[in-house]
Amino acid sequence: MKNICITKPYMPDKDKYKKYIDEIFDRSYLTNGGPLVDELESRLAKFLGVKHLVLVANGTIALQVSFKALALSGNVITSPFSFIATSSSLVWQGLQPKFVDIDADSFNLNPALIEQAIDSDTSAILPVHVFGNACKVEVIAEIAKNNDLKLIYDAAHAFDVHYKGQSLLNQGDISILSFHATKLFHTIEGGAILTNDDQTALHVRQMINFGFEKEESIVRLGINGKMNEFEAAMGLCVLDEYGIIRKKRKQIYDFYLKHLDNHLQRQELNMHSTQNYGYFPILFDDEKTTLEIKNKMRNENIYARRYFAPSLDMVSYFESQEKCPVSQDIASRILCLPVFPDLDHSGQQRIIDIINRSLV
């Protein structure tokens, strides 16, 4: 039986990509701010409705550079319900994640618990719009402002999400995106740092290029965080077809909604925000059922994933003092179902049948 993975990278028109590759070969300009990176930056900034967008090598380096650019120190309040990179990137930069539990319905950082977790060493809040579901941005902005904290959104899942008619990516001092191959918009590997602040944008640009301002002028500590021309070419091709990607994902999403047992618990979506149909998470009653259903699927070559288990407060190297029972509970019962444009109805029906049969 045909394998169905959690996702499958979108492959755009091959001939168009080849044309870009021919151009790159002719120019022999491969990286360090080439024309295709420039073009993709300006097209994405316009498409997403943001002032500054700096393309980088991946979402993890986007986080690390953002922490440096905002001069974070001490501890950073963040969500335990995320991909490991959200918090491992903090530790990599010598910062301590301070986990605050999530809301049981939205799966996002619970704003009511943030204030009590702030101490004299806290320098920032790093919420995650998990599965593209917008956080309670007004409340979080207020807390950050009142406590003089920087605010960085891990928006790795929130490509093209709008909140109250504006890009969600305009929230905070910085938002970051991931353009990994598994994401709905991708550049093979890649990511972006987004900000409305001119100075921050300038610093980030210098930082991802070793701190150079110009050829013989090094103005700050930097790293190599650049995207290359082959990746930008992929991004330009995928962006051209983004309308199709979104439409197909919505159809898949609607098909699940229509045919899955309607007693299944789902993430409560922010009513002020749009969706990008990046993930389809569902919750079962307990971990045992979740694992049984995941294994049943696996026996039929279907690879659903437990994004995001384990809850990050349980990862030993963080040595977290804070325990997050809600996040642990959600992480133990969640299963993300396959969603990608090539997934057809018969494939989806195989998934739906396994789940619905298991629940009777």
Q: Which residues of this protein are in contact with ligand T4K, per CB under 6 A?
A: 5-9, 58-60, 82-83, 85-86, 128, 154, 156-157, 178, 180-182, 191, 303, 307
Residue placing its CB nearer to ligand T4K in the complex, 17 or 212: 17
Task: Please tell me the distance from the alpha carbon of residue 315 to that of residue 87, in angstroms, as a whole number.
Answer: 10
* CB of 27 vs ligand T4K, minimal distance in Å: 26
Under 8 Å CB-to-CB from 265, ≥6 apart: which residues?
282, 283, 284
Residue closer to ligand T4K (CB basis): 336 or 355: 336
Phi first, then psi: give them for residue 156, nearest 5 degrees. -50, -30
d(CA 213, CA 96) in angstroms, rounded, equals: 30
Residue showing the smallest CB distance to ligand T4K in the complex? 59
Question: Closer to ligand T4K at the Cβ: 58 or 332?
Answer: 58
Q: How far apart are CA 227 and CA 225, in angstroms?
A: 7
- For residue 121, the SS3 value is coil
Of residues 61 and 143, the one with the C-beta less far from ligand T4K? 61
**Shortest distance (Å) from residue 317 CB to ligand T4K:** 17
Give min distance, CB of 308 to ligand T4K, in A. Answer: 7
Cβ nearer to ligand T4K, comparing 266 with 306? 306
State which residue, 45 or 85, has the beta carbon closest to ligand T4K.
Answer: 85
**Smallest separation, CB 155 to ligand T4K (Å):** 8
Cis ω on the peptide bond leading into residue 255 (within 30° of 0)?
Answer: no
CA-to-CA distance for 277 and 185, rounded, in angstroms? 11
User: Is 273:168 a contact under the CB 8 Å cutoff?
Assistant: yes
- Tell me, rounded to whole angstroms, the distance of Cα 122 from its chain centroid: 23
**Alpha-carbon gap, residue 63 to 90, rounded angstroms:** 8
Beta carbon nearer to ligand T4K, 212 or 310: 310
CB of 190 to ligand T4K, least distance (A): 7
DSSP letter at 312? G
Contact (CB, 8 A) for 316 and 89: no
Residue 23, H or E segment: helix 14-27
Closest distance to ligand T4K from the beta carbon of 11 (Å): 10
- Residue 4 Cβ vs ligand T4K, minimum distance, rounded to whole Å: 10
